[in-house]
Chains A and B, each alone.
Chain A
Amino acid sequence: MRDRTPGAIGIVAAAALLLTSCAVQTAPTAPSGGATAASATLASVPGFSLSDGVIHVGEMTALSGPIAPSANEQVAGQQAYYDIVNAKGGIAGKYPVKVITADNQYNPQLAVQEYQRIKDQVVMLSGILGDASTEALLPILKQNKAVALPSTQSSRFTAQENLGMTFTSYQSNVWNALSYLFEKGRISKSSTVCSMVQADQSGQARQDALEHAGKELGFTVGPKTEFAPTDSAFTAQIQTLKTAKCDLVVFGGANGNVPNVVAAATQLDYAPIWETEFFSIAQSFKDTDIATYLKENFVVTGLAGDLDDTSIEGIKLLTEKLGKTPTMQNVYGFMQAITATTILEKAVQLGDLSGAGLMKAMDGIEKIEYLGLNGDMTYGPVAKRLQPDTSSIFSYDPTAPGSLKALTAQYVAPKGRGPGF
């Protein structure tokens, strides 16, 4: 006789478990026309409860791994600004902000998992570290109608209604730096300017700016050499640049590439001007042999000005809050918190802290100012948004705070913003 026990148990178990289905939503029978997203009264949403009035924001960053120290400084910068806001009562004077962190370890796969962990605890992500993590989260943000502020300069995200930008684009930084060096006579129409960039969209953005500068300023654009993020040998690229007699190289690399690039260039006795973005480990080279090469040859774009220049309002506040001279990473985090706070203020004013409400708030903001740390970020409808067009330009100086000495602060190319920058 066949044993029917397992089947019977299975049916009973299935019925019992399915009947307790408490984690499903009932499908809406008709569109709700009553309540609008922008109701006058603020309602509780995931990440915000009217009962305690705390607004939770998420910070997706690399809390472990090789860039954790720099990422932690960015978190500290964000927290410093939220502390200032909370000391005045919080958003709209009554809703304090609390940061919930998530560790993506600079890995987009982990970013997806971590986002799922915190998404119902926060009203928005006030930071996502890593372009790849931003790319990975974008489809999910769209599905969830959620808002995030990527910690990136990549202009390709500016046109996304779910993302709020803060920083000057890669293109504007290259264009401004080349214009500045041209103005100061360090390059001229007879110069050859080349590039050594990552073979991705950030590299192409820099290359676009270089080609635009070549047309506008009249210098020769030399070879474009590329590398992958994990590459550690750069002799071939640098030999190409040297053979082409490049006077200046636009370098778009990651932190870890710098020592290897300097080593390869030194071995080949090649010393052009290297134009690059701020790299967070700059200070760690100050007591090494690399420092001399960096000081003589590197021009770096970044934010604010000298990090001990307390005549800049943002630096002054940050210094007071941290109790020490800030790092450039602190400044990055501080600025992102300004963006987040401005969006939250507008959303509270509109009475809706949901994702849709935050997107509407971004549409309703004209511009965001950054206490002298950088130029304004233009908000409004997504098609009209523009990243700041200012760049602070530094030389490498091991004795200066952050090993950066400002050559000029908030510089804008005399010929204005480049196309699509």
Chain B
Amino acid sequence: MTLTTTGAALARHARGRAPRLFDTPLKKILAIAFLVAIIAIPLNVADSYILTVLTTAAIAAIAATGLNLLTGYAGQISLGHAFFVGAGAFCGQVLGGQLGLPFLLWLPLSALFAGALGAVVAPFALRLKGPYLAIVSLGLVFIGIYAARNLPTLTGGLNGTVVTAPVSIGVLDFAALRVGPFLLSREQGMFILCWLVLAVILLAVANIVRSRSGRAMQAFRDHDLAAEVLGARRLPTMMNAFIVSSALGGLSGGLLGVELQYIRPENFGLDLSIQYVAIVVIGGLASIWGPVLGALFIGLVPVIAIRLADVLPFISKPGEQGGVSVSGFGLVVYGVLIVVFLLFRRGGLISFFRRPGRRRPLAPATTQAAAAASPPDPAPGITTHEEGHSL
């Protein structure tokens, strides 16, 4: 009782000192520029390929933001994120495509469905930590693919299903957006929709990590015993992280389905899970913008590789054997950069945007927790770099 009261008091104290989300004029300007760019980029970029790549990056960033909450902020490694993304994608098609629910219903319900699956799995999965949780979560991916293959009325089975869920809010149909005299293509409309959803998610997650629950996640990540001594309860805290993470995966899956317009169980395999982990690590763990940067990086590397293909002599021409294919070259570049980042820039891409000497002091609860024990090591293989309280 005493511990709980102390912990609550510390948490209240910490909440009072939590930084504002936009605590400098520069951040306010950047936030406004971000919102302007969401509208302006599709209005000024006609290349549907670039728009598709950027839209897919936004969708991946939503899923990776969820994973970042679990891995970066709560210190739990998960390789099962594709399971929740797939659950959201198929649920979105069933609710929006088969049952005809409107966008404002089917998308949140897809997120809720994935979150509910997370709630079912979490009590069992969270009994484990580190690599053990990673392996258990890995099992979810295989279970998900098996289940999807064997529920053909819902998922189309091995054939997959065409996604017909609507993407309109009232008169705003993002598949054929008309703004005054302007007629936007589907790619332009989907860009606006997905990046706006991402903006809302980033704001929500930034607030979550500033909340008491969010700070408790970080306290457990840094030292679980110290966090419990301070009155935080591990299971509910980690459950929250797992459920929100799963729900964001589901939300991302719903959007991925309508973006691709065709999904099948094999879309949501281990490679997708690994891609999300790579996005979080490359972008920067425990940072709000890290997943966005990571998703853009992973999305744009193949684009750059294609642009370079014509000038590099070792790229094989289609129809010829030998040499490196354009996609193969993209994968090599992608792999090399991951290695370079992990060796020389562990803070990820976000670390390029941080000015040295501006790190915030740890919140009192975390400081005490950290002081109570040996150096923080959130989970094997994970290095965190900032509390991430502000945008």
Report how many residues on chain B are interfacial, defined by Cβ distance under 8 Å: 54
Query: CB distance B158 to A18 under 8 Å?
Result: no
B267: which A residues are within 8 A, CB to CB? 108-109
For the complex, what is the distance from the CA of A143 to the CA of B182, rounded to whole Å?
Answer: 19
User: Total number of A-B contacts with CB less than 8 angstroms?
Assistant: 156
* CB closest chain-B residue, reference A24: B182
Using a CB-CB cutoff of 8 Å, which residues 230-285 of chain B contact chain A?
A: 260-262, 264, 266-267
* CB closest chain-B residue, reference A117: B49
Take A21-B43, A113-B49, A132-B264 as given contacts and tell me if A63 and B318 are in contact as well, using a CB distance cutoff of 8 Å: yes
Closest CB in chain A relative to B22 CB, distance in Å: 8
Whether, in the assembled complex, A23 has its beta carbon less than 8 Å from a beta carbon of chain B, the answer is yes
* CB closest chain-A residue, reference B264: A132
Q: Give the secondary structure class of B's interface.
A: helix
For the complex, what is the distance from the CA of A113 to the CA of B256, rounded to whole Å?
Answer: 12
Query: CB distance A24 to B266 under 8 Å?
Result: no
A72: which B residues are within 8 A, CB to CB? 318-321
Stretch of A179-187, A197-205, A237-245, A342-350 on the interface side: A197-205
Question: Which one of A61, A132, A138, A230 has the highest number of Cβ atoms from chain B below 10 Å of its Cβ?
Answer: A132
Query: CB distance B36 to A14 under 8 Å?
Result: yes
Whether, in the assembled complex, A366 has its beta carbon less than 8 Å from a beta carbon of chain B, the answer is no
A78: which B residues are within 8 A, CB to CB? 319
Whether, in the assembled complex, B53 has its beta carbon less than 8 Å from a beta carbon of chain A, the answer is yes
Whether, in the assembled complex, A159 has its beta carbon less than 8 Å from a beta carbon of chain B, the answer is no
Whether, in the assembled complex, A76 has its beta carbon less than 8 Å from a beta carbon of chain B, the answer is yes
Query: CB distance B188 to A199 under 8 Å?
Result: no
* CB closest chain-A residue, reference B30: A6
A26: which B residues are within 8 A, CB to CB? 181-183
Whether, in the assembled complex, A9 has its beta carbon less than 8 Å from a beta carbon of chain B, the answer is yes
B53: which A residues are within 8 A, CB to CB? 113, 116
Whether, in the assembled complex, A136 has its beta carbon less than 8 Å from a beta carbon of chain B, the answer is yes
Closest CB in chain B relative to A44 CB, distance in Å: 17
Whether, in the assembled complex, A64 has its beta carbon less than 8 Å from a beta carbon of chain B, the answer is yes
Q: Quick one: which of A21, A105, A132 contacts B327, CB cutoff 8 A?
A: A105
Q: Quick one: which of A20, A113, A201 contacts B56, CB cutoff 8 A?
A: A113
Using a CB-CB cutoff of 8 Å, which residues 279-326 of chain B contact chain A?
A: 306, 318-321, 325-326
Query: CB distance A112 to B261 under 8 Å?
Result: yes
Query: CB distance A63 to B327 under 8 Å?
Result: yes
Q: Quick one: which of B29, B52, B319 contacts A76, CB cutoff 8 A?
A: B319
Residue-wise, chain B 30-49 has the 8 Å CB interface mask toward A (1 for contact) of: 01110111011011111011
B131: which A residues are within 8 A, CB to CB? none
Whether, in the assembled complex, B6 has its beta carbon less than 8 Å from a beta carbon of chain A, the answer is no
Closest CB in chain A relative to B154 CB, distance in Å: 15
A68: which B residues are within 8 A, CB to CB? 325
Take A101-B318, A116-B48, A135-B159 as given contacts and tell me if A24 and B261 are in contact as well, using a CB distance cutoff of 8 Å: no
Query: CB distance B43 to A23 under 8 Å?
Result: yes
Whether, in the assembled complex, B221 has its beta carbon less than 8 Å from a beta carbon of chain A, the answer is no
Whether, in the assembled complex, A69 has its beta carbon less than 8 Å from a beta carbon of chain B, the answer is yes
Closest CB in chain A relative to B34 CB, distance in Å: 10
Whether, in the assembled complex, A120 has its beta carbon less than 8 Å from a beta carbon of chain B, the answer is yes
For the complex, what is the distance from the CA of A79 to the CA of B157, rounded to whole Å?
Answer: 36
Query: CB distance A117 to B306 under 8 Å?
Result: yes
Take A13-B32, A113-B49, A120-B48 as given contacts and tell me if A198 and B187 are in contact as well, using a CB distance cutoff of 8 Å: no
B37: which A residues are within 8 A, CB to CB? 17
For the complex, what is the distance from the CA of A19 to the CA of B222, rounded to whole Å?
Answer: 49
For the complex, what is the distance from the CA of A105 to the CA of B326, rounded to whole Å?
Answer: 11
Residue-wise, chain A 19-39 has the 8 Å CB interface mask toward B (1 for contact) of: 011111111100000000000
Query: CB distance A199 to B157 under 8 Å?
Result: yes
A119: which B residues are within 8 A, CB to CB? 48
Query: CB distance A139 to B262 under 8 Å?
Result: yes
* CB closest chain-A residue, reference B46: A23
A50: which B residues are within 8 A, CB to CB? none
Whether, in the assembled complex, B25 has its beta carbon less than 8 Å from a beta carbon of chain A, the answer is yes
For the complex, what is the distance from the CA of A86 to the CA of B28, rounded to whole Å?
Answer: 59
Whether, in the assembled complex, B186 has its beta carbon less than 8 Å from a beta carbon of chain A, the answer is yes
Closest CB in chain B relative to A155 CB, distance in Å: 14
Whether, in the assembled complex, B149 has its beta carbon less than 8 Å from a beta carbon of chain A, the answer is yes
Residue-wise, chain A 35-68 has the 8 Å CB interface mask toward B (1 for contact) of: 0000000000000000000000001010111001
Contacts A112-B262, A135-B162, A138-B262 known; 14 new A-B pairs at CB < 8 A: A9-B32, A9-B33, A13-B33, A22-B43, A23-B42, A23-B46, A27-B182, A27-B183, A103-B326, A103-B327, A116-B49, A116-B187, A135-B160, A199-B157
Partner-A contacts on B (CB < 8 A): 25, 28-29, 31-33, 35-37, 39-40, 42-46, 48-49, 51-53, 56, 149, 157-160, 162-163, 178, 181-188, 260-262, 264, 266-267, 306, 318-321, 325-328, 331
Partner-B contacts on A (CB < 8 A): 3, 5-7, 9-10, 13-14, 17-18, 20-28, 59, 61, 63-65, 68-69, 72, 75-76, 78-79, 99, 101, 103, 105, 108-109, 112-113, 116-120, 132, 135-140, 143, 198-201, 228-230
10 A–B pairs (Cβ distance < 8 Å), ordered by A? A6-B28, A14-B40, A23-B188, A76-B320, A119-B48, A137-B262, A139-B162, A139-B163, A198-B158, A199-B149
Q: Which 7 A-B pairs have the closest CB atoms?
A: A17-B40, A10-B32, A117-B49, A21-B43, A6-B28, A23-B46, A101-B318
